[in-house]
Structures are given as structure tokens and as C-alpha cells.
């Protein structure tokens, strides 16, 4: 029963432990692994890593309780099989300190992608399901369906600031985001993981707003104000439902503030 370090490159060693040790239970295994980790850093190694089978939940717990942070999944790294990469650096904040413990938790807790979009309307259109409203839609270069302007929220970025940044980067328009009008959960689809889409009010503008658009050509083919009939023709069904739900929340009889795939 043992845990050991195997050199990988200068300053980097890979941690392994035997199945016999893991069979002793979580406590004894973690204790043995922690001792080896301490010895590794005392010997001058800068990085200690381990590769864990995604199906081996016991080994994942050993890695986590030993203070190793989850870094991601290396695909087909060992005999064509995926492995979860856990690692610790010599100068990482000790797990015993609050910051170190929070960083450890943050490394393996679930994360969800956030998308911010802006609902920009044309002056003169009513709000509702009667077709009078017109909203700004973008024809994107990387998919056939049209969509609201916006994009993915960057790490540590405010969703409200993100949507204004995306609108300025992709359309050349400086429009501060107004109140949040809808939170829409998107289930996994077409190769994407699930996500949360936040729709912010972009206000009502003159039709001439489109004349000032400067397209980011790599992402935007065109952009124009569209009627609700066109929304249903040009957008994916879940996008059209999202737009209708967001518009309802700007009316005198708002609908739910939270939807799932627009429903």
C-alpha cells in the first residue's frame, strides 16, 4: 500500500497511489497522500499533479480532500481514456486558510455559462403579441438563425456590462443596459452545455439607429429591426419564445421573469 511521486518534467511530479491503499478508506488514503505531497514540496518540486479516472469517484474525493485543485479533463491522455487533472503548486494558498479553502471548492463546484442579450426596440412599435413591435436582430456568421445582440459573459465580468460591451464590439453602438427583463435557462443543445441567458432592456430608439451600426464582420452579417412575424421566421423557436417572453415583461401585464427555453 503506497503513494508515490513520479517525475514528469523539471519541477513537476505526478502523484499516484495504489488500489490497495484506496481500499483502506478515504481517511487513511488522504493521510498518506498528504504526507507524500508535503514531502514533494519539501524536496523542491513546484507542481504536484494527479490524473484520475472520471468513473472513480473515490479517487476524486481523495484528490480533493488532499488539497489538489481540479484543473479540467485531459481527453484520451492514458491509453485512449480521459482523465481528470488535479494539481497543487508549491505557492498555492494553504487549504487551512479561508482563501485556500474557497479556491479548492471553486475548482470543482459546477459552473454555468452565462449569456447576456439586449432587447432593443424601434420607436413607434407597441409592446405585445400583435406584431406592432420591432426588435433589433442580428444575422450571425456562425449559425443560420438570427438572434438578439449580445454574447457570452466573460469570467468575473458583470452580465450588465457584458451585454453593453458586446453590443459596442459587434455593432459599434453605445447603449447602456437597462433593467433585466428575463432570465431564460437554455438546456444542452447542439454541442453546447446548458446556459443561463439574461435579457436586458436596451430601450426604444429611432429606426435610424441601424444607420450607425458598424458590424464586426467576423460575427455579424447584418442587423435590422424586425417585426414579431419576422422574429418567428428568422430565429430558432426557443429564441423567438424568449423574445416574446421578454417583451411581455415590458407590457402592462408581464409574464414570468424566469423561463426555460423561452417557456
- For residue 214, what are the CA distances in angstroms to 136, 175, 219? 14, 14, 12
User: What range does the domain containing 45 cover?
Assistant: 3-108
- Do 117 and 100 reside in the same domain of the chain? no
- Do 9 and 126 reside in the same domain of the chain? no
Cell of 42: 519539501
Which stretches within the chain are classed as H helix? 19-23, 26-42, 57-65, 98-108, 159-171, 228-234, 237-248
Q: How confident is the model at residue 1 (pLDDT cuts 50, 70, 90)?
A: low
The pLDDT, as a whole number, for residue 53 is 97
Contact status, residue 162 vs residue 151, Cβ threshold 8 Å: yes
- Do 97 and 194 reside in the same domain of the chain? no
Mean pLDDT of 95-102: 95
Q: Say if residue 103's pLDDT is above 50.
A: yes
Contact status, residue 145 vs residue 235, Cβ threshold 8 Å: yes
Cell of 190: 447542439
Q: Please tell me which residue, 143 or 72, carries the higher pLDDT value.
A: 72
The pLDDT, as a whole number, for residue 129 is 44
- Do 171 and 148 reside in the same domain of the chain? yes
- Do 103 and 138 reside in the same domain of the chain? no
Q: Say if residue 124's pLDDT is above 80.
A: no
- Which of residues 108, 142, 172 is at a domain's end? 108
- Average model confidence (pLDDT) across the chain: 94
- Which of residues 72, 87, 108 is at a domain's end? 108
71-80, 123-132, 186-195, range with the lowest pLDDT: 123-132
pTM: 0.84
User: Where on the phi/psi map is residue 198: left (φ > 0), alpha (ψ -120 to 50), or beta?
Assistant: beta
Q: Say if residue 127's pLDDT is above 70.
A: no
CA dihedral 261, 151, 220, 237 (to 10 degrees): 0
Number of domains in the chain: 2
CATH code for the domain in which residue 53 is found: 3.40.630.30
- Do 202 and 179 reside in the same domain of the chain? yes
Mean pLDDT of 94-99: 95
The pLDDT, as a whole number, for residue 9 is 96
- Do 49 and 152 reside in the same domain of the chain? no
Q: Say if residue 187's pLDDT is above 60.
A: yes
At CA 225, angle to CA 224 and CA 226, rounded to 5? 110
Contact status, residue 141 vs residue 218, Cβ threshold 8 Å: yes
**Strand-pair partners of 235:** 146
CATH code for the domain in which residue 236 is found: 3.90.79.10
The pLDDT, as a whole number, for residue 190 is 81
- Do 250 and 189 reside in the same domain of the chain? yes
- Do 256 and 139 reside in the same domain of the chain? yes
> 116, 100, 174: which is closest to 150 by C-alpha?
116
SS3 187: coil
The helix (run of H) or strand (run of E) holding residue 82 is strand 81-89
The pLDDT, as a whole number, for residue 130 is 46
- The number of beta carbons lying within 10 Å of the beta carbon of residue 78 is 10
139-160 confidence digits (pLDDT tens): 999 889 999 999 999 999 999 9
Mean pLDDT of 76-82: 95
Report DSSP state, residue 87: E
- Do 187 and 103 reside in the same domain of the chain? no
Q: What is the Cα–Cα distance from 202 to 176, expressed in whole angstroms?
A: 7
- Do 98 and 129 reside in the same domain of the chain? no
- Which of residues 76, 108, 140 is at a domain's end? 108
The pLDDT, as a whole number, for residue 251 is 85
The pLDDT, as a whole number, for residue 132 is 78
The pLDDT, as a whole number, for residue 256 is 83
The pLDDT, as a whole number, for residue 191 is 84
158-174 confidence digits (pLDDT tens): 999 999 999 999 999 99
Q: How many residues appear in the chain?
A: 263
- Do 152 and 219 reside in the same domain of the chain? yes
Contact status, residue 3 vs residue 16, Cβ threshold 8 Å: yes
Amino acid at each position: 500500500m503506497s503513494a508515490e511521486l513520479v517525475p514528469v518534467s523539471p519541477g513537476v511530479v505526478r502523484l499516484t497511489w495504489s488500489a490497495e491503499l484506496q481500499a483502506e478508506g478515504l481517511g487513511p488514503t488522504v493521510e498518506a497522500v498528504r504526507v507524500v505531497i508535503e514531502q514533494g514540496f519539501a524536496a523542491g518540486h513546484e507542481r504536484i499533479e494527479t490524473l484520475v479516472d472520471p468513473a472513480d469517484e473515490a479517487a476524486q474525493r481523495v484528490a480533493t480532500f488532499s488539497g489538489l485543485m481540479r484543473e479540467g479533463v485531459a481527453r484520451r491522455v492514458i491509453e485512449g481514456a480521459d482523465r481528470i487533472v488535479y494539481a497543487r503548486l508549491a505557492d498555492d494558498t494553504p487549504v487551512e486558510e479561508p482563501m485556500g479553502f474557497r479556491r479548492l471548492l471553486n475548482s470543482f463546484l459546477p459552473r454555468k455559462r452565462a449569456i447576456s442579450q439586449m432587447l432593443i426596440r424601434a420607436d413607434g412599435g407597441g409592446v405585445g403579441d400583435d406584431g406592432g413591435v420591432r426588435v433589433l436582430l442580428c444575422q450571425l456568421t456562425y449559425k443560420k438563425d438570427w438572434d438578439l445582440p449580445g454574447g457570452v459573459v466573460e469570467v468575473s465580468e458583470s452580465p450588465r456590462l457584458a451585454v453593453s460591451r458586446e453590443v459596442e464590439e459587434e455593432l459599434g453602438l453605445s447603449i447602456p443596459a437597462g433593467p433585466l427583463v428575463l432570465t431564460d435557462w437554455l438546456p444542452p443543445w447542439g454541442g453546447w452545455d446548458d446556459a443561463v441567458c439574461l435579457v436586458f432592456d436596451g430601450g426604444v430608439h429611432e429606426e435610424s439607429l441601424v444607420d450607425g451600426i458598424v458590424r464586426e464582420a467576423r460575427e455579424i452579417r447584418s442587423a435590422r429591426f424586425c417585426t414579431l412575424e419576422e422574429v418567428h421566421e428568422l430565429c430558432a423557436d426557443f429564441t423567438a419564445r424568449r423574445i416574446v417572453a421578454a417583451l411581455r415583461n415590458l407590457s402592462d401585464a408581464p409574464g414570468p421573469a424566469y423561463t426555460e427555453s423561452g417557456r
